[in-house]
Amino acid sequence: MEKVTRRGFMKGALAMSAFPFMSQAEETKRAESLKFIHVTDSHMDLGDDESVEAMKLMVKFVNTNYKDLDFVLFGGDNFNNNAKGNSDAVAFKEIIAKLHCPTYLVRGNKESFAKPDKSIDLDEFKTLFMSDKAFSVSGKDWLLKKKGYQILGLDSCIEGANNGLYTKETLSFAKTALATKKPTIILNHHPYTNYWKGTDPEDIHKYVLNNTDEAQKVLFGHDNLLMTLSGHKHIDSVTEIQKTKVIVTRGFIRPLDMDMYPMRYVEIQNNEINEKLIYTT
């Protein structure tokens, strides 16, 4: 039997002890990868069978083609909120519950501009879609922590109106979260800029966050704000504000062709963002 020297024993022990550290490093590397899909402005309507089938198609497409997602984010105007009671909200929730991963929502103007009056309001929206134990909820906004990242769901809606703004409470909530220095993603409905170069003041008032100058001063000075995700205008855009990637995803309601409904796939690795517009078929 070969004699084991003290030096040889120590070398072997060190080599063996390296394996847990390698595994831990690999685990850390995996933990820094975040994969998700952004769907906005689906406008599901129980009076429009095609819109309902489109949502079911989205679920089937995601479950088949994107099996390793961390979650799916829904950016508002998810359903038209024009059915009496909560039937459309419940139907929407039941459909997206069939996705293989968690789902997180913010409101759009459709959810905050109820027609008829007996449709769901903010309190019922919170009950249906903001009761996840993973959330830290403050007023009408929420915070989710995932794999070292923060996702902020900020409600930019004004009750009974199509235009939007951030309240002082929302800005304070976001500022506090950003002060932690953790890499952060913001999900909301109303875009921050007139990226489509519109000239009609009423159109701009309706679609651009009304206090965007204030919001930009509060939010976009933080180096850890990686990206924002919005919708509302249904026109796709990828730009930057102070080195933050600012994305407005094409409205799901605007298919490129038959059954080709748009969404955005996002992958973040070590704070590096890769994203692309995808279609259901």
Span 95-110, pLDDT tens digits: 999 999 999 999 999 9
Within 10 angstroms of residue 134's Cβ, the number of other Cβ atoms is: 13
Sole residue written with tokens 């501009």: 113
Strand order in the sheet with 225-230: 135-138, 141-146, 149-153, 184-187, 225-230, 244-248, 237-241
201 preceded by a cis bond (ω within 30 of 0): no
pLDDT at position 78 is 98
Q: Residue 117's pLDDT is what?
A: 78
Q: What is the CATH number of domain 33-279?
A: 3.60.21.10
DSSP letter for 117, please: T
Sign of CA dihedral 220, 192, 230, 188: positive
Question: pTM value?
Answer: 0.88
Low-confidence ranges of the chain (pLDDT < 50): 1-31
pLDDT reported for residue 14: 40
Tokens representing residue 65 in the block: 């083609």
Q: What is the maximum alpha-carbon separation in the chain?
A: 89
Q: What is the pLDDT of residue 31?
A: 45
Eight-class DSSP state of 271:
T
Beta-ladder partners of 265: 37, 276
pLDDT at residue number 84: 87
Q: What's residue 281's pLDDT?
A: 87
